[in-house]
Amino acid sequence: MKKIFILLLLFSSAFIFVGCPFHGSPEHRRAHRKAIYQDYVEIHKFIDRHFWNYDWDDPYHN
């Protein structure tokens, strides 16, 4: 229990000191959404390429 509390405290202090939760500008939130969306697209491309052998760059080649 003590380890969990220490990890939670460490995580929350790191999260607070980064400043993201207190930066309320729309541009900053938009940048976060764009980064998350780009990561999602990269994961989707990876799964398509390696599991279904689908190439997004040349879809007619498949």
Q: Model pTM?
A: 0.52
Choose between 29 and 8: higher pLDDT: 8
pLDDT of residue 62: 58
Q: Are 25 and 19 in contact (CB under 8 A)?
A: no
**Collapsed DSSP state (helix, strand, coil) of residue 57:** coil
Give residue limits of the domains in the chain.
25-62
Q: Is the pLDDT of residue 38 over 90?
A: yes
Choose between 12 and 39: higher pLDDT: 39
CA distances from 51 to 2, 21, 37, 40 (A): 42, 37, 21, 16
pLDDT of residue 19: 61
